Structure 1
Amino acid sequence: MTGYLKAGAAFAALIAATPALAQAPSRDDLADLVRAQAAEIASLRQRVDRLEAERTVAAATPQLPAPVLAAAEPATLPEPIVTQPYAAQLLPPGPAERNVERIRAAAVAAAGGSTEWGQGLPVFHSADGMFTFKPRGRIITDVSTSFGSKSDGRNITTTGMRALRMGLEGTVGTHFFYQFESDFSENEVDVVTAFMGWRNRISPGLDYDVRIGHLFNDRSFEGSTGSDSTPFLERTVVATAIIPQRAFYGLGIMPRLFWKTGHASLTLTGDRIDGDQSSSDNRTVLGRAHWNPIKSDRQVLHVGIWGFDEMLHPGKNTLTRNTVIGGRFNGALRLSTGNLIGGTGTTGYGVELGGYSGPVWVMGEAGERHARLDNGRPDFVTKAWSVSGGWFITGDLPPYNPRLGSFGQPKVKQSIFEGGPGAIEITARYENLAFDDIVTPADGWAATLGVNWYLNSFTRFQVNAIHWNTNNTAGVYTGKDDGETLSARVGVTF
């Protein structure tokens, strides 16, 4: 009580010492005065708490920082729950998180709202702590040159935007979240991620979320990794070939369950966003689960399985494939099936096995897809497998996300913007793809060496040297062929 009496005396003295304020205080003057007094009261309260704790050690309990102290010392505020670059990955609040939110809400209320800087862009918090909002962005620019092919039409140099996205994400309360992004990389507007969701905790260590909207696949390790987070310039052939006909996105619903060592998801979608409401959508059911039987600060073992089944309607049943094998920005360099129509559905499945120890990671993937054809024709079968690995020579840990079982943005220990070298990674990959049981089969493989330089946690340079080998029986470039592709990328993700 002595401390509070002193605080009251100090308040009166402050008013008396500033007659202008006492006579006609403005709203800003009163706000400043309240903040100063709140800080003084908080300081006195902490001192009283410490004295009481020393006198009654047996009954002592850990003291939470007073909310008004958090307002007085914003530099020491705990990190907010909303720090992930993707709203869909946010954890539902447990007891500790709710304490943090209460402290933050008091601090934000005292300041009338807050803004902080996360991955290069601001995160806005409302004064009552109920709302958060964050703009999103992704700029990825590539250049590619191919040489050594027997066909001059494949020996070309091109440039392109792998991604040019703008979007937003936010939360309402602790459970509701949303995200929206559009891509302009092909010089036209393409809606990619667009969903709303609800998340909650079932019990300690077990929580869930449900997302509804235009959803990115949860399928295979690299197929579930965003284009801004892949360790190579292009995903593996497992991710690009063992895939529903509607590709990486579909409009529907995806519930997900998370536990301490893994997650599982189930997705039900129709087609991608389009303007066609004159016929039924194709239907796709997709499931994936991953498990980390070993999980520590510096070691992880990853095991994953996934599968999908897709029903194709007449008029939406073309199965023609032209799959990347030596880089996205050489349209002449593909494995091709030729024109293939009359599909009734597809079924695919795959496995994942890998992990990391310290700065070294390895990941193997394999999958198979059966595309069903009408008129009694045999299934069109696609088989793919890959083995990838990397080593961070700067000692940084691989950017593995144990919550989703995929790669995310790295946590660079020594950013170049703070005088460090950034993070430097050496990568290697072998991948193999085959189209079988059709009139015009094809097969090929590619071996890649790469170097990634992460300037900080959201800016990177990448270089890939690829030796590729193709054998097409359809398309412009048929027969066996091989050559090299050298590609480079600069990317930033906000």
Structure 2
Amino acid sequence: MKPLRTGCALIALVVATPALAQTPGADELAALVRAQAAEIAALKARLDRLEGAQQVASAPATPGTPPVAANTSPPAPVQLAQQARRPQVTSPYAPQLVPPGPAERDVTRAREANAAGVTTEWGAGLPVFHSADGVFTYKPRGRILTDVSTTFGSKSDTRNITTTGMRALRLGIEGGVGTHFFYQFETDFSENEVDIVTAFIGWRNQIAAGLDYDVRAGHLFNDRAFEGSTGSDSTPFLERSTVSTAIIPQRGFYGIGIMPRLFWKTGHASFTITGDRVDGNQAVSDSRTILARAHWNPIKSDTGVLHLGLWGFDESLSSAATTLTRNTVIGGRFNGALRVSTGPLLGGTGTTGYGAELGGYAGPVWVMGEAGRRNARLDGGRPDFVSKAWSLSGGWFVTGDLPPYNPRLGSFGQPRVLRPVFDGGPGAIELTARYEDLDFTNLVTGGRGWAATIGANWYLNSFVRLQLNVIHWNTDNRVGAVTGEDDGQTVSTRVAVTF
């Protein structure tokens, strides 16, 4: 590199020497010198970048000439003499006198990626990355659900409280390799705890036209009931109905196992076998849960759907999971004193639950009814503990948007807002109502409760929403801090962002 630089300097010296200029005038000579100096500067800058030097100490081109920094144009004798009084002549070449900084390097990388065919698309608030050959995809995931709840009207001051909470605070990733392999991972940080939620790998393929399947293995979310199969960021109310929260395996909404699913044009079916959810207990065998669900859309059009669904599960409990005590929410999640309770219940050996779904939508109006029953088997020859729950809910998008029904999974997803607020529209406004009932009275210590909810949802766009629920609740617990019949009201609000 150094001989090339010396040659460049000599060329500049020859060009800049007046004795070698034959016919050009002084002005032409000055312009020529400035152009040649700019070209030399550009060449030196390129050489500096190739050598990876941030700053190259340059030697004087001729004896007595001061050193020239790598990031400045080398002074030419005629240029220095005439620069102050001659108009500048723009060189046809654009020298880069400063090595690229971080921002410029990012732009360079982006241009190189774009030239290679790497693409991104923006969906629900974050980009989806695609490799040039389409083999690899990657997308960040997350949800932020922030709630405020206040309860009043109870006969007990312990229930008349105001609280705040993060219903979900999740961060994760999803992606795929090729057309078949896919994966997803999410962790939740709400309630000051780190909790692994969805975490699986999967394989998908097509059996025939209109018939395909996937198989997922890992930490899996239940496919059970309509609202129970809907993510916490997509439910039309701040909390799922009692069917989803009470008629549930003892291990909860998640378990480690495998889930094959079959999809056709008007429905789907799934089968799941899992052990416990993520935990650190490997001293005893896990509980074993088998769960199945199917839904069918006998009527399906662009503006309407009829939904039918059936589901059930059977659970054999681990020796470390024999406690069946339940305290189920009835007036909102963030009031720990407001629950329907079974009282202490020990000695469980297994549970069996099942339920049905009937509903659908026509235009902007939707209705969904659900019912379920759970039998918990007890040791010592005691009769089963039976839980029963049902709910009826509905909604109306006053802005004319369609309900966010997902016909592939038979659940709710993110809405497709026709006129988002961020584009100058009103967003999507939905009015909702629900009645739900829960009965634990098969047990001597078991309670009962019901709740009627009216609500409003304002979807600013497909991934930002504001929610309001006003709940009138009634409980009749036989044990606990508040026994006997009690009723009151709870007002809850939520700000939700999903991406």
State the distance in 2 between where 1:199 and 1:436 align. 44
State the distance in 2 between where 1:240 and 1:432 align. 11
For the residue of structure 1 that corresponds to 2:306, the secondary structure is strand
Match status 1:298 vs 2:303: yes
| Matched AA of 1:447 | A
Pick one of 338, 352, 363 that aligns with 2:357.
Answer: 352
For the residue of structure 2 that corresponds to 1:456, the secondary structure is coil
Aligned to 2:150: 145
Pick one of 226, 230, 245 that aligns with 1:240.
Answer: 245
Q: Is the 8 A contact 1:364 1:387 kept in 2?
A: yes
Aligned to 1:412: 417
Aligned to 1:289: 294
Aligned to 2:373: 368
State the distance in 1 between where 2:489 and 2:163 align. 14
Q: How does 1:29-428 map to 2 (within 5 A)?
A: 110-428=115-433
Larger Cα Rg: Structure 1 or Structure 2?
2
| Matched AA of 1:147 | F
Aligned to 1:436: 441
Q: CA deviation at 1:416?
A: 0.4
State the distance in 2 between where 1:439 and 1:193 align. 37
Q: CA deviation at 1:313?
A: 2.2
Structure 1-normalised TM-score?
0.78
Aligned to 1:463: 468
Cα deviations across residues 168-202 of structure 1 (Å, max 9, x unaligned)?
A: 00000000000000000011110000000000000
- Which range is displaced more, 142-151 or 113-122? 113-122
Q: CA deviation at 1:438?
A: 1.6
Q: Is the 8 A contact 1:109 1:128 kept in 2?
A: no
| Matched AA of 1:450 | G
State the distance in 2 between where 1:247 and 1:275 align. 16
Q: What is the number of equivalent residue pairs in this alignment?
A: 391
Q: CA RMSD in A?
A: 1.4
Q: Is the 8 A contact 2:284 2:319 kept in 1?
A: no
Q: CA deviation at 1:112?
A: 3.6
Aligned to 2:492: 487
Q: Is the 8 A contact 1:261 1:295 kept in 2?
A: yes
Q: CA deviation at 1:315?
A: 2.5
For the residue of structure 2 that corresponds to 1:436, the secondary structure is coil
Q: Is the 8 A contact 1:380 1:436 kept in 2?
A: no
Q: CA deviation at 1:109?
A: 7.9
Structure 2-normalised TM-score?
0.77
State the distance in 1 between where 2:127 and 2:434 align. 36
Aligned to 1:33: none
Aligned to 2:18: none
Cα deviations across residues 309-336 of structure 1 (Å, max 9, x unaligned)?
A: 0001222111000000000000000001
Q: Give unmatched runs, 5+ long, in structure 1.
A: 1-19, 27-107
State the distance in 2 between where 1:161 and 1:323 align. 18
Q: CA deviation at 1:210?
A: 0.1
Q: Is the 8 A contact 1:378 1:437 kept in 2?
A: no
Q: Give unmatched runs, 5+ long, in structure 2.
A: 1-38, 47-112
State the distance in 2 between where 1:294 and 1:471 align. 41
State the distance in 1 between where 2:117 and 2:409 align. 35
State the distance in 1 between where 2:320 and 2:284 align. 9
Q: CA deviation at 1:116?
A: 1.7
Cα deviations across residues 55-85 of structure 1 (Å, max 9, x unaligned)?
A: xxxxxxxxxxxxxxxxxxxxxxxxxxxxxxx
Q: Is the 8 A contact 1:324 1:335 kept in 2?
A: yes
Aligned to 2:452: 447
For the residue of structure 2 that corresponds to 1:491, the secondary structure is strand
For the residue of structure 2 that corresponds to 1:462, the secondary structure is strand
Deviating runs (4+, > 6 A) in structure 1? none
- Which range is displaced more, 135-144 or 110-119? 110-119
Q: CA deviation at 1:308?
A: 0.2
State the distance in 1 between where 2:199 and 2:318 align. 25
